[in-house]
């Protein structure tokens, strides 16, 4: 059995809140602080927003990222403690996350590429409902969905916007994506679909001039889209670390039982 990995060169990043900044100062005093380029591991101090920002910024580095909760929402974070950080990092369990790649084409034929850790979603820009066509792996699956919008969520993002839209919670290691309508009007009873994470999802906007639609990949927004392509980007694997017994798998399982 391999010995636990010890991380000596730690880079700390923190949100701007007073609580996170105070925690940062104490951790830096105890453990030092390395530049992210030369560090072996990144420790993010804050909430889920800070974790998503850190994952986006360092997603291509392959460096493990360990979150410590000092924010509002901490679903992606571990409990905060200054005690024996080296030991906690060595004992932490790794979860690999593949982001979604969104390729959005707007009405001016401009192409926009963005990654999403949680979800890609489309939503109506005006009071009028969006009309969209859905294709999976180049086969039409729904000729017209009339709704406020639609989203594609990863397992990591299935407990975020997807859950609020009544979408399913996915185990973190499930090779699935959730396709979930947002306030569907027609077909009224359609609740979405579970797709393999190899699926190539295309959403075409119908009547875009009359019913404009925007697309968002986590926090990157594109207005007036006419076609959005979404797939899981297997070329990028982000390494998230969680304390034993507090893994993302366990948190998602607890969420399904209302805890």
**pLDDT the model gives residue 258:** 63
Mapping DSSP to helix (H, G, I), strand (E, B) and coil, where does residue 211 land?
coil
**pLDDT the model gives residue 1:** 42
For residues 65 and 40, give the distance between their C-alpha atoms in angstroms, rounded to a whole number: 10
Q: Are 146 and 185 in contact (CB under 8 A)?
A: yes
Strands 41-46 and 10-14: parallel
Residues of the chain with pLDDT under 50: 1-2
Q: Are 178 and 170 in contact (CB under 8 A)?
A: yes
Catalytic annotation, pick one of 37, 48, 106, 218: 48
Could you confirm whether 48 is annotated as catalytic? Answer: yes
- Please give the order of strands across the beta sheet that includes 238-242: 10-14, 41-46, 65-69, 238-242, 93-97
How do residues 9-22 score in pLDDT, each as one tens digit? 999 999 999 999 99
Please give the domain boundaries of the chain with CATH numbers for all domains.
Answer: 10-98+236-256 (3.40.50.10330), 100-232 (2.60.200.30)
**pLDDT the model gives residue 247:** 65
**pLDDT the model gives residue 259:** 53
């Amino acid at each position: 059995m391999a010995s636990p990995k010890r991380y000596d060169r730690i880079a700390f990043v923190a949100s701007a809140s007073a609580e996170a900044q105070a925690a940062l100062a104490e951790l830096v005093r105890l453990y030092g602080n390395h530049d992210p380029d030369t560090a072996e591991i990144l420790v993010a101090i804050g909430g889920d927003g800070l974790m998503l920002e850190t994952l986006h910024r360092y997603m291509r580095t392959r460096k493990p990222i360990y979150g410590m909760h000092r924010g509002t929402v901490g679903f992606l974070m571990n409990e905060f403690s200054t005690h024996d950080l080296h030991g906690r990092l060595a004992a932490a369990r790794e979860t690999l996350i593949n982001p979604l790649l969104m390729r959005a084409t707007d009405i001016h034929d401009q192409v926009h590429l963005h990654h999403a850790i949680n979800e890609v979603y489309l939503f109506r820009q005006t009071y009028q409902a969006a009309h969209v066509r859905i294709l999976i792996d180049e086969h039409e699956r729904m000729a017209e969905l009339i709704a406020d919008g639609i989203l594609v969520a990863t397992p990591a993002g299935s407990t975020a916007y997807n859950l609020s839209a009544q979408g399913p919670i996915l185990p973190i290691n499930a090779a699935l994506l959730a396709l979930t309508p947002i306030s569907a009007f027609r077909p009224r009873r359609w609740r979405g679909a579970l797709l393999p994470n190899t699926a190539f999802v295309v959403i075409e906007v119908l009547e875009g001039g009359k019913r404009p639609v925007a697309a968002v990949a986590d926090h990157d927004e594109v207005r007036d889209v006419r076609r959005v392509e979404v797939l899981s980007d297997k070329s990028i694997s982000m390494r998230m670390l969680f304390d034993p017994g507090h893994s993302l798998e366990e948190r998602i399982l607890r969420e399904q039982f209302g805890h």
